[in-house]
Structure 1
């Protein structure tokens, strides 16, 4: 199996897990909207909300692929980044659309670059690595935050919100 296929499978698996969490465990179907108050709720001071984490997952994917894979300048979609003090959480539908669009860009760039480019060196997270490692870090990043989202949504759902 080639690296591009492995990376695509990893991206598909990580996104599938995130969507299943958002659906309350269902493997397919519509994603029910999380109302604004639960979307913004933080389990503790200094922690992040489900909305901030969803925004962060989409934003980081957009930024890393735009800058490192495509070699273009990144501009935040909502004028700020998710954890900026002045950030205003976008509406639910915008967050879901951003997740979809950033993933579409990621997969398109992966398919277009091809296998040999996975070994191309790039500066990433203050070190030199490869484009393949950028992609595998995206998979890990989404999985990490999916666990946080699952935990927070579990608290919200058990509270009856």
Structure 2
């Protein structure tokens, strides 16, 4: 159980760091701004971070029903490899922070209830093949993924503010 709590603490620390860098005063236009057409926006990144955490940790690791946050909030799907990110609707920063917070609360409840750091989970792909994941892989994937995209969100703030000087 200590290993599981360590992973959850690492996830919280990473989130706290990049969210702190974003600050509290982001405007709606800053949250929606895309550096290029179909590019990343802070709002879409925040939804995507919550989506990936919920998918891998709630759905795959713990068997919770899948909820398409990207489709619900962004009214479109992200193709991160094709670099097609929908412009998010106009929501204030507290909306996105609440989405992240409720996702994290559920992660802590579900993952914290697992009895072994050796927990494994299976994902069945669309082609019917099964893929098994360890909890260690799942937690590491989500931590790294969040740090990656959290850094992108911070960079987008810096780019906008530098351009407006």
The TM-score range, normalised by the shorter chain, is 0.7 to 0.9
Residue 103 (structure 2) pairs with residue 102 (structure 1): yes
Return the alpha-carbon distance in structure 2 between the equivalents of residues 11 and 124 of structure 1. 26
Q: Is the 8 A contact 1:80 1:86 kept in 2?
A: no
* 1:81 Cα offset (Å): 6.2
* 1:78 Cα offset (Å): 6.7
Query: 2:21 — aligned with what?
Result: 21
What stretches of structure 1 of length at least 5 have no aligned partner?
A: 24-30
Query: 2:112 — aligned with what?
Result: 111
Return the alpha-carbon distance in structure 1 between the equivalents of residues 87 and 159 of structure 2. 24
Query: 2:135 — aligned with what?
Result: 131
Using the size of structure 2 for normalisation, the TM-score is 0.78
Return the alpha-carbon distance in structure 1 between the equivalents of residues 89 and 135 of structure 2. 30
Q: How many residues align?
A: 152
Query: SS state of the match for residue 80, structure 1?
Result: helix
Q: Is the 8 A contact 1:59 1:81 kept in 2?
A: no
* 1:50 Cα offset (Å): 0.7
Return the alpha-carbon distance in structure 1 between the equivalents of residues 124 and 12 of structure 2. 23
What stretches of structure 2 of length at least 5 have no aligned partner?
A: 78-84
Using the size of structure 1 for normalisation, the TM-score is 0.79
Query: 1:149 — aligned with what?
Result: 153
Q: Is the 8 A contact 2:58 2:110 kept in 1?
A: no
